[in-house]
Chains A and B, each alone.
Chain A
Amino acid sequence: DTEVTQTPKHLVMGMTNKKSLKCEQHMGHRAMYWYKQKAKKPPELMFVYSYEKLSINESVPSRFSPECPNSSLLNLHLHALQPEDSALYLCASSQEPGADTQYFGPGTRLTAL
């Protein structure tokens, strides 16, 4: 199983909503990542978890709150989003924090109203 899964595929939320994006991998990978990708732009790193601990937070607004409940799961909790937060949110994993190969999930396409 070399797959990273993400749910939901699409999400529309208003400014007062609270929602969560989920990411799962069963490859035994110990590093997991959240990226944000706007249209016609490259992915931008948001958070890195190494061995279930947050190791990188790339100055992301507090309305985005990551959580890694165990080594297979990564969540991104969303609250009071702004329209500029509309993007494709990609999850990725790699075997170890220093590993070269990242496996990406299909992404969640988020529309913030």
Chain B
Amino acid sequence: RKEVEQDPGPFNVPEGATVAFNCTYSNSASQSFFWYRQDCRKEPKLLMSVYSSGNEDGRFTAQLNRASQYISLLIRDSKLSDSATYLCVVKIWLYFYGQNFVFGPGTRLSVLP
């Protein structure tokens, strides 16, 4: 089983739609959780960190359920510029070695006019 799994995608949605991405992780030593976006042939960029209390940044809402080892990202009123691959990332602390960031396989989103 992969350490971080995501919806396989791709998601093709019309402008203005609401879209939700799901992510699960298997390592209970996971400490911190993030959503990154990556545009084609570009580097990943941090979209938002994810907290147990849930957090919102404009049209984006992230949720974390530690008991279920599940993370979600909701995008409301999607824009053409939201088209990208969304990567779920988990930080695992390895006691003697420091931290390890593990990336999920990503879910591709295409917002259509």
Where the two chains meet, the residues of A that have a C-beta atom closer than 8 Å to any C-beta of B are 31, 33, 41-45, 48, 50, 55-56, 88, 90, 97-98, 100-102, 104-107, 109
One digit per residue, 1 when the CB lies within 8 angstroms of any chain A CB and 0 when it does not, for chain B 73-113 equals: 00000000000000100010110011111111110000000
Bound CA span A55–B106, Å: 27
List 6 A-B pairs, minimum CB-CB distance, nearest first: A42-B103, A104-B43, A55-B98, A97-B98, A100-B32, A56-B97
Which residue from B43, B87, B100, B105 sits with its C-beta under 8 Å from A107? B43
With A42-B106, A90-B43 as known contacts, state yes or no: A102 contacts B98, CB within 8 Å: no
Chain A: minimal CB distance from B19 (Å): 19
Size category of the binding interface on chain B: 20 to 34
Contacts of B105 in A (CB 8 A): 41-42
B17 at the interface (CB under 8 A from A): no
Contacts of B49 in A (CB 8 A): 100-101
Contacts of A104 in B (CB 8 A): 43-45
Contacts of A31 in B (CB 8 A): 98-99
Nearest A residue to B42, CB-CB: A106
Bound CA span A31–B99, Å: 10
